[in-house]
Structure 1
Amino acid sequence: MSHVTPEGRRARRQLTTQIKDGLRDLHNQLSALNRQVGGRLAIKDTDLDCLDLVNRNGPLSPSALARQAGLHPATMTGVLDRLEKAGWIARERDPADRRAVTVRALPDRGGELYRLFAGMNSEMDSICAGYDERQLELLAGFLRRTADAGQAASRDLATGD
């Protein structure tokens, strides 16, 4: 094992701090973007987050969606009521179990979201074009592990650990 100098440890701590600060900055900027999109569509931030989860992972049961969003089931009921009334989602009976309900996004509204996020998606394509495949794999893995860490931390807070 090689010896790491105090300067090397300090440089590593500084880089790690820059990454954490960058992730916080990214969170704040994406939150601001989501508020702008939500404002244009008259959707609350939490509702937009849940709509994104349904679009990406649906159809989902309301309880699975609540778990993924980190929301109380009673809160989820209000979110789904608002999204359904505005024509973003549909709640349907599960054909396998008529007592169960699934939530799915309505495809005819997806274009509105796509148009509002088009600028950011275009910018992301440009940024990613500057990286080779190996670098993109590294970044994708880092982001996946970071999201998993956030999910675990959220779950620990929710369970009181």
Structure 2
Amino acid sequence: MSSIGDGDARARRRAAAGIKQSLRELRNQLSLLNHQVGARLRLRDVDLDCLELVLEHGPLTPSALARRAGLHPATMTGVLDRLQKCGWVTRERDPDGPDRRAVLVRAVKDRNAELFGLYAGMNSAMDDLLAGYSEEELALLGDFLRRTTEAGRAATEELAED
């Protein structure tokens, strides 16, 4: 005969499995959205990923960007060539670099509206969705997403070290 505790444990495992499944589905859907955005901008998925990293963390050296993106430096050179050719980033001399060859990759701010405009539908949908949550619920969701992101970052770094 199973105790109430066993039922609670099963319900918890089912709930946790459901959350993990929902996160996989979310990842897939966001990947598809980003693919559509990239296609509209005539950018490869990896190019869009790197552009978003520069927008979020930039300016960055090409090697720092390669590390963040998990790409080989030679691959990063091709990505940056494409992004620069299309007017999304600039490469500027790094005044704090170890020598005159050191560069920083900086996003071209004049292009932000074009990029963000393609996400406007999703941003509006998120605003509507989040309006239905209390401040406490939003804090919980924010904490969960930050911790999930950190777990993903750690797992990515672990795989990259192999």
Q: Classify the secondary structure of the residue corresponding to 1:95.
A: coil
Unmatched 5+ stretches in structure 1: none
Partner-residue secondary structure (3-state), 1:90: strand
The list of structure 1 runs, each at least 4 consecutive aligned residues, that deviate by more than 3 angstroms after superposition, is: none
Matched, 1:36 2:23: no
How many Å apart are 1:96 and its aligned residue? Answer: 2.1
Change in CA separation of 1:10 and 1:88 when aligned onto 2, cut-off 3 Å: same
Deviations 1:15-71 (A, max 9, x none): 000110010000010011011111111000010011011111111111111111111
The amino acid that maps onto 2:47 is: D
Question: In the TM superposition, what whole-angstrom CA distance separates every residue of 1:3-26 from its partner, at most 9, and x where no partner exists?
Answer: 971110000000000110010000
- In structure 1, the partner of 2:90 is 90
Query: 2: CA distance between counterparts of 1:139 and 1:71?
Result: 30
Between the two proteins, the alignment pairs up a number of residues equal to: 158
- Residues 1:115 and 1:101: Cα distance change in structure 2 (over 3 Å): same
Partner residue of 2:7?
7
| Pairing 1:1-161 to 2, within 5 Å after superposition | 5-97=5-97, 98-160=100-162
TM-score by length of 2: 0.94
Distance in 2 between the 1:72 and 1:138 partners? 36
67-76 or 111-120: bigger deviation: 67-76
Secondary structure of the residue aligned to 2:60 is coil
Distance 2:129 2:114 in 1: 24
The residue type paired with residue 155 of structure 2 is A
Q: Distance in 2 between matches of 1:137 and 1:69?
A: 28
Identity of aligned residues (%): 61
2-structure distance, mates of 1:4, 1:60: 54
Counterpart residue type for residue 115 of structure 2: L
Q: Which amino acid aligns with 2:77?
A: T
Letter of the 1:95 partner, please give it. Answer: P
Q: Return the alpha-carbon distance in structure 1 between the equivalents of residues 102 and 4 of structure 2.
A: 57
Q: Which amino acid aligns with 1:66?
A: A
Equivalent position SS for 1:60: coil
Q: Secondary structure at the match of 2:119?
A: helix
